[in-house]
Structure 1
Amino acid sequence: MKKFLILMFVFVSNLLFFSACSSDNDEYGDNNARYYIKYTVTGGSWFRPPFAHTSNPAPTTIEFHDKNSIVSESLSGSVKFSKVVGPVNKKFKASLSASGANNGGYSASYEGTIEILKDGEKLIGSSSNAGRGYIEVTCDIND
C-alpha cells in the first residue's frame, strides 16, 4: 500500500509539473503578439517681445502614456520629440499631448502622431493631430 501511494504521488507530481509550461503567457493575448507605440511631436514654442526682430525659446510640455502611467517632459524652443513604448497588450490606450503658450507675444504650434506597431514591425494603426497652443492625440489597438 505504501508503495502504491508513493507511485501515485510521483505520477500526480509529474503530471502537474509537465502540464505547467513557462511559455504560457496571457499578458499579450492568445497569439502572443506584442504591440509597440511610437509617439512623435514636432513644432515648438517661441516668445517674441514687442518691437523685437528675434524670438526666444519658450517651454513646451509633452505628456504621453507610458506602460504604467502618464509621463511628462518639458522641452524649449524647437521640438523634435520621439519615444517608443512597449511591449504593451491589446488593451493599452495610447495618448499624447503637447502644449505651450499661444497668445500675445507667444506662438506655439505642434504636430503629433501615434503609430501602433505589431511585433515592432507591422504598422496596424495611427492617428495624428496638428494645431496651435495645445494638441491631443489618442489611438486604440484595433487588431
Structure 2
Amino acid sequence: MMKTKELNKWANAHTSYPIDLLRIGFGIFLFLKGVSFITEKKYLHDLLSAMGGFGSEMLLIHYVAMAHMVGGVMIVFGFLTRWSIWAQLPIVLCAFLINFIGDFNTHNFIQASIALVLCVFFLFFGSGKHSVDYNLKLEK
C-alpha cells in the first residue's frame, strides 16, 4: 500500500488544471449545499424524518451545514483537502444511502453518487500541485 508521501508525489506528478477545476467545483458545490441546508431547513428536516424518530435533528443539520461550508471552502483552496474530505465522507455516504431508506429521488441520488465518487477520488489524489497544501509544502 502506498504511503501518503508516495501518493502525494504521484498526484503532484500527474496533476493538471482540469483536476484542479474539478476540485474547486466540488468545493463550491459543497459550500452551496451547506448554504442551502441553512436556508432550507424544512427540506433537510423532511429528508431526515424519512429515517424515523432520529433525535437531535437540529444538531445534525448544523453539523452538515457547517461541515459542507467550511470543508467546501478548504477544498476550493486545496487546504487540508484530505482532512476536509474525511469530514465530508460520512455526510456524503449518508446522503447516498438515504435514497434507499425513504422515497427514492433520482436527482438527489445522482448528486450524492457523484459527490461520493469525488470524495473517494480526492481522498487518494489529495489537493494536487496547484493548492495551498502544495505551497505550504504539506504535500511534497
TM-score band (shorter)?
under 0.3
Choose between structure 1 and 2: higher helix proportion. 2
TM-score (normalizing by structure 2): 0.26
Greater Cα radius of gyration, structure 1 or 2? 1
Report which of the two has the higher share of strand: 1
Identify which of structures 1 and 2 has the higher relative contact order when contacts are C-alpha pairs closer than 8 Å and 6+ apart: 2
